[in-house]
Amino acid sequence: MSNFANFAVTDTEFWIRSLIIAGVVIGIYLVALWGAMILWTYRDAQSRYESRQVWVGAAALVGLFNLPGMLLYFAIRPQEPLIERFNRQLEAEAFLGEIFKQDVCTQCNAPITDSFVACPYCRAVLQEPCASCDRNLRAAWTICPYCTADRGQAAAAVAASGPSRTPVPSVAARRPATGGVSLTQTQVKKPVHVS
């Protein structure tokens, strides 16, 4: 009888110990999951917000409310990560840049339009009438695109050198080395170009 009683106590203890171990394992698992959720939220917030306070706030939200906090974060976070938003803006700017590509003077890089025959800034001749059909041709064109007349050696030489994109020296670079001499009005008024 005493043997049976001993066995029964041992058996109960075994189950209690097993339950405690299982509880500890499940507890560790839940804590690890909770920590991972906080860490994940912090990193996700980093990719979507610029402010450190928001990263901490989002992580704290999940830390305090756990799964409901995470669902709330999912509901309010921006759809687009910062890097994607940045790339999309770059693409949009490149696209607009293509559409509104600014024509520039081949000599001084000043902004010009298609119809300019000469550069109003540096007086460079931009277009000359075709000897054959009299339509205005760009200085670099080797033949007339309207009547196919050959424009000769001069135009070919211009075309070979290509549109000269000599950078305009900055105001600082053009400032006289000797102090005291101020820039002239024409120097100051020289346009700053968008490349």
Q: Is 144 in the site for Zn ion (CB under 5 A)?
A: yes
Minimum CB separation of residue 96 from Zn ion in Å reads 25
Minimum CB separation of residue 111 from Zn ion in Å reads 10
Q: Among residues 45, 59, 130, 140, which is the contact residue for Zn ion, using CB under 5 A? A: 130
Q: Among residues 118, 124, 139, 159, which is the contact residue for Zn ion, using CB under 5 A? A: 124
Minimum CB separation of residue 139 from Zn ion in Å reads 11
CA angle 19-24-28, nearest 5°? 150
Q: Is 132 in the site for Zn ion (CB under 5 A)?
A: yes
Cβ atoms of 133 and 151 closer than 8 Å: no
Q: Is 107 in the site for Zn ion (CB under 5 A)?
A: yes
Beta carbon nearer to Zn ion, 72 or 118: 118
Q: Is 139 in the site for Zn ion (CB under 5 A)?
A: no
DSSP the chain: -HHHHHHHHHHHHHHHHHHHHHHHHHHHHHHHHHHHHHHHHHHHHHHH-S-HHHHHHHHHHHHHHHHHHHHHHHHHS-SS-HHHHHHHHHHHHHHHHHHTPPEE-TTT--EE-TT-SB-TTT--B-EEE-TTT--EEETT-SB-TTT--B-HHHHHHHHHH-S--PPPPPHHHHS-SSTTPPPPHHHHHSPPPP-
- First-residue to last-residue Cα distance in the chain: 101
Q: Is 159 in the site for Zn ion (CB under 5 A)?
A: no
Minimum CB separation of residue 188 from Zn ion in Å reads 17
Q: Among residues 149, 156, 159, 168, which is the contact residue for Zn ion, using CB under 5 A? A: 149
Strand partners, 33: none
Q: Is 90 in the site for Zn ion (CB under 5 A)?
A: no
Minimum CB separation of residue 128 from Zn ion in Å reads 11
Q: By rule CB under 5 A, what count of residues binds Zn ion? A: 15
Q: Is 41 in the site for Zn ion (CB under 5 A)?
A: no
Minimum CB separation of residue 106 from Zn ion in Å reads 7
List interacting residues with Zn ion (CB under 5 A).
Answer: 105, 107-108, 110, 119, 121-122, 124, 130, 132-133, 144, 146-147, 149
